[in-house]
Amino acid sequence: MMQKIMNLKKWVEDYETLSSKQQDLEVLIEFQKAGEVSEEELDRNFEEVFNLLESIEFRNMLSNEGDSLSAVLQITAGAGGTESCDWAEMLMRMYIMWAEKNKFSVKELHHQVGDVAGVKSVTLEINGEFGFGWLKGENGVHRLVRISPFDSNAKRHTSFASVYVYPLVDDSIEIVVNPSEISWETMRASGAGGQNVNKVETAVRLRHSPTGIIIENSETRSQLENKNKALQLLKSQLYEIELEKRLSARDEIEASKKKIEWGSQIRNYVMHPYKLIKDVRTQSETNDVDGFMNGGIDQFLKSYLMLSGQKEN
């Protein structure tokens, strides 16, 4: 209840701040006409008002059920072998850097290394308000085109990785799971070693028979803690499925994720023979590949939210 009150209070405070700054801007316009205020100062104040208004508008787009929750982000390497494993690790780094820039905390829940390089799959918990709302548009296949660092002939390669994002349920959401529908497996965690790692079976794999969902977790050195976390992740996925049923979006997401290969991607990352990142859904694009891969993905996230908002309206 306190969290809900604080959220509503934030809306009121931002509105009052925006209203006050808008009035100040109107006064500055009059002063500028009289030659008492420079254009630079007027532009600076206008940009401040515009950015605050844009921030409020985008938060309004994140008003669907579940948008305010933290996110669980799962990256899986697709067709392409070592290339795709390396690409999956590059995506992992990109999302971690985005999260850190936006003051989200990141926790690694599961990490399966590639045979030669990169990762086969990784699961990250992105903690913070509206984590899921911001990242929900990243669901789908991401395609990379580049000169392979693993090819001695320096040939161009195409790699694929799948990204799956779902909301992390908290104590305020009750999801009932029948224990008889769950089976458990334990295994040794991969890692650099230590008191328990690689010696005791602390990692767990959960299978949910009605949905076919499989959750793997090796976050801690405690099997019990890993089981509890895996159960929370299962509830999170079941919650997301229910949300998408209500929003009639499940079929779209699953259709875009059927095969992690040609023709199924939501975004293309071309690093050779030219540099261009383009989203096939929103047509957003950028030539700043380095900035994008260093976590500068906000504009693409906003473009997707704008497109989704237009469809809902």
Tell me the pLDDT band of 310, cut-offs 50, 70 and 90.
low
Mean pLDDT of the chain: 86
CA pair distance 252, 244, nearest whole angstrom: 10
39-61 helix and 298-312 helix, angle to the nearest 10 degrees: 60
Tell me the pLDDT band of 75, cut-offs 50, 70 and 90.
very high
Range of 193-197, 198-202, 250-254 with top mean pLDDT: 198-202
Statement: residue 85 has pLDDT above 90: yes
Contact call for residues 53 and 39 (beta carbons, < 8 A): no
| Structural tokens at position 107 | 């926790």
Global pTM value = 0.74
Strands 119-127 and 105-113, sheet pairing: antiparallel
Contact call for residues 184 and 204 (beta carbons, < 8 A): yes
Tracing tokens 């002063």 back to the chain, one arrives at 31
Amino acid at site 232: Q
Statement: residue 96 has pLDDT above 70: yes
Tell me the pLDDT band of 196, cut-offs 50, 70 and 90.
very low
Contact call for residues 88 and 120 (beta carbons, < 8 A): yes
CA pair distance 59, 55, nearest whole angstrom: 6
